[in-house]
Structure 1
Amino acid sequence: MTTFALVHGSGDGGWSWHLVRRALEERGHAAVAPDLPTDRDDATWDDCVEAVVGAVGAVGDATEVVVVGHSAGGFVAPLVADRLGARMQVFVAGMVPRPGETATEWFGNVGWAEEVDPDPLVAFFHDVPDELAEQAVARERPTAQRLGETPWPLAALPTARSRYVVATRDRFLPVAVQRRSAERLGITHPDAIASGHCVHLSRPEELANLLVGYLGER
């Protein structure tokens, strides 16, 4: 059994992964999706890592771990992968960091220069079922400024096997930006799902199938 550690992005919480989590469990695996303390002004990268590591530890026999980071969760996922010696790290429409880079700097460094519609139902949830999208908006959590300005702490990305999933209908992170992010992992042909930014809500079964399929790679 594999334990999937699912890391949410900015403004989200662990709830955003609930459909993928259920789908993974139906496929015989364990999955955890804790709330990161990203809403705390004093939160550090270590605090975020500890939230995920603690959730994985509560599973019990979590000897094989795959860490999955969505969007800004891509800054936390490799830190968790490094701490746990994870088998694999997966970025879903993810922000792949460089050593010493801040999340704020990342956007300019990858050439992101978009004018995003301020309505989250348009920018993020345009292909998510209406009722589910409304729940997601109601559960939005604030994101403290400090983490966005704190340099990413590792000297290099972990050596764990990496995969990247591009959301091809993303209105927040354009496909070209996602591909440039994937190239930081040495991935020139990432996988793709025809969805908006919130793949885990709009295409949970497809994403779960892709994640489980990665387990067959050695």
Structure 2
Amino acid sequence: MATFVLVHGAWSGGWCYAKVAALLRARGHTVFTPTLTGQGERAHLLSASVNLTTHVADVANVFHYEGLGDVVLAGHSYGGMVVTGVADRIAARVSALVYLDAFLPENGQSLFDINIPANTQRFVASAGNCGGIAVPAPPASFFNVNAADAARVDMLATPFPLAAMAERLTLTGAHETVRKRVYVHGRVLPRESPFKPFYDRVRDDPGWTAHALACGHHVMLDMPETTADILHAAA
């Protein structure tokens, strides 16, 4: 059986993978769902110094302290920035990279660089409501979260460190040696999706497997069985 490390996106926590993790564990897989510093049950650690480097270290340390190798590493949304940075550092320990409607950065890019400019402007402006160090969570409706999960997403969402969105990622290119790469796009949003260009970029690339799902941005909540099947197939 395989080992999975599932990395959440902004304003979230490891809790968002509960359904998918349960489905994977029922198949006999080992699943880790770390929560990034300043998020979820670690929200009390939020500070101006928490950035993308912090979050890459959070996940790389799971590999180190749990002695992990041959891992399917998946990231949702902002988590795409994190898993790319982790895979670039420890590519030999990663057997597959899965981007769940996630940012797909290149060397020297930040999330702000590759997001829709209107989103970046909105997030920077709203950080003033959190002392200038964090971005308040948009409502679940912004991501078209399904009705059954929307209230829980709104209840558990936490402000996200601004520095993590602004920091540019330095890559050596080692992440591109990971043999399996998968992109999953949630194609039903009430607005322009910043993730469709990444899906369009890789969907015809023979080095990638691409899926477009009839759901909102939170694919692991909206279509957990399908998400689990895709992750299982990547193992």
* 1:203 positional shift: 1.1
Q: Residues 96 and 51 from structure 1, CA distance in 2 versus in 1: closer, same or farther, beyond 3 angstroms? A: same
Gaps of 5+ in 1: none
Q: Which residue of 2 aligns with 1:147?
A: 164
CA contact under 8 A between 1:96 and 1:182: conserved in structure 2? no
How far apart, in 2, do the equivalents of 1:183 and 1:152 lie? 22
Q: Equivalent residue for 1:78?
A: 84
Deviations along 1:67-114, whole A, 9 cap, x unmatched? 1110111100111223332111111111111211111111148x989x
Do 2:89 and 2:175's aligned partners in 1 also have CA atoms closer than 8 Å?
A: no
1:75–1:95 CA contact under 8 A, matched in 2 = yes
Moved more, 139-148 or 156-165: 156-165
Note the C-alpha offset of 1:57.
4.4
User: What residue ranges of structure 2 are gaps of 5+ in the alignment?
Assistant: 39-45, 123-136
Q: TM-score with structure 1 length normalisation?
A: 0.82
Instruction: State the secondary structure of the residue aligned to 1:87.
Output: strand
Q: What secondary structure sits across from 2:88 in the alignment? A: helix
Is 1:55–2:65 an aligned residue pair?
Answer: no
Identical pairs, percent: 26
Offset at residue 125 of structure 1 (A)? 4.3
Given candidates 161, 167, 192, the residue that maps to 2:212 is 192
Moved over 6 A (4+): none
Partner of 1:40: 47
CA contact (8 A) 1:92 1:166 kept: yes
Q: Distance in 2 between matches of 1:26 and 1:80?
A: 27
The RMSD of aligned alpha carbons is: 2.8
TM-score by length of 2: 0.77
Instruction: Please tell me whether residue 120 in structure 1 is matched to residue 126 in structure 2.
Output: no
